[in-house]
Structure 1
Amino acid sequence: MASVNVERTDDGFVARNARGATVQIGSSDTEGVFTPVELLLAAVGGCNIVTVEPLTAKRGHRMARLQMTVQADKAASNILGPVTITYEVELPEGDEKAEEVFRNVAARVHANYCTVSNTLQKGVPVHLAFED
């Protein structure tokens, strides 16, 4: 099971995982924090890139630079429209197969292995519960 704790603090809001990592959460007018929507987009990007990078490297094609932009416009005031992942890649010099390998791996990861992207595409329910 995946789980995080989100709580209000004296400085705003913080999400914390069981390993002690934290992320500051706030509104779009608060400096130095992520908004919840930005965290969702970061989760999509992170899920893809942390899977793509080791798989391409394992195949002997480590990209000289690997980064992405993940974006979505709002379809309504409280709903995002389609999410777009745009990779920005610098291929390793002299590696003629690197682009083909990267594109194939990235497509397979997106379609089959990224839990976050697959969950969004499937549209799973979100339940609300209250502790007694």
Structure 2
Amino acid sequence: MSDDTERSVELTRTGPSRYRATNVRGTTLEIGDGSTDDFTPVELLLVALAGCTAITVDPLVSRRAEPTTFDVHTRADKIRDELGNHLVDLLMRFDVAFPEGEAGERARALLPDAIHKAETRLCTVSRTLALGVEAEVQIDDV
């Protein structure tokens, strides 16, 4: 990726309530309204939150020990109130396991701090959401 700060995707309608997103590298993703198997925009927001945090945290802990499991479960409730439609109660639950031994223990000990750093300064998606939405993080199997 260049030093350019711009990030962009193109969205093209492919049918009623169906779209194809294309990134600058030519990769595509189908998006829909939930009436098909395509990802919805809200699901993509949850993917972006989990993906950005995982991509930020993974190299920090993996250099201590390779995880045997690294799953991030992200969920939220979609509501409609006086503020309009929006998500509340965002939760990222990390299910991460490391091998037994000293290296695994070091990685396990680092995981909460790595997630905290991602949330507070490193992950662009969570930082952007934090400006207007607070996301709760839960760590499982550490």
TM over 0.5, shorter chain? yes
**Which structure carries more strand by proportion?**
2
**Residue 119 (structure 1) aligns with:** 128
Is it true that 1:99 corresponds to 2:108 in the alignment? Answer: yes
- Paired residues of 1:92 and 1:98 also in contact (CA < 8 A): no
* C-alpha displacement of 1:82: 3.0
**Quick one: distance in 1 between partners of 2:14 and 2:34?**
18
Instruction: Provide the residue aligned with 1:25 in structure 2.
Output: 31
Matched, 1:109 2:118: yes
Aligned mates of 1:98, 1:47 — CA distance in 2: 19
Alpha-carbon shift at residue 10 of structure 1 (Å): 4.7
Distance 1:115 1:82 in 2: 19
The letter for the 1-side match of 2:73 is: T
Deviates more, 1:46-55 or 1:4-13: 4-13
Q: Which amino acid aligns with 2:74?
A: V
Q: Which runs of 4+ in 1 moved over 4 A?
A: none
Give 1:89's aligned amino acid: V
The separation in 2 between residues aligned to 1:40 and 1:10, in whole angstroms, is 22
Report sequence identity in percent.
Answer: 37
Q: Is the 8 A contact 1:61 1:101 kept in 2?
A: no
- For structure 1, list consecutive stretches of 5 or more residues without a partner in the other structure: 124-132
Q: Which has the higher contact order (CA 8 A, sep 6+)?
A: 2
- Cα pair 1:4 1:18 within 8 Å, conserved: yes
1-structure distance, mates of 2:129, 2:116: 16
2:46 equivalent in structure 1: 41
Quick one: distance in 1 between partners of 2:93 and 2:51?
13
Question: Following the alignment from structure 1 to structure 2, what is the Cα–Cα distance between the partners of residues 28 and 108?
Answer: 33
Once the two structures are superposed, residues 9-61 of structure 1 have per-residue CA deviations (whole angstroms, 9 ceiling, x without a partner) of: 25831110010111100021212x10000000000001000111111123x22
Is 1:62 aligned with 2:69? no
Three-state SS of the structure 2 residue aligned to 1:24 is: strand
Q: Distance in 2 between matches of 1:19 and 1:43?
A: 17
TM-score normalized by the length of structure 1: 0.84
**8 Å contact 1:53–1:62 — kept in the other structure?**
no
2:62–2:107 CA contact under 8 A, matched in 1 = no
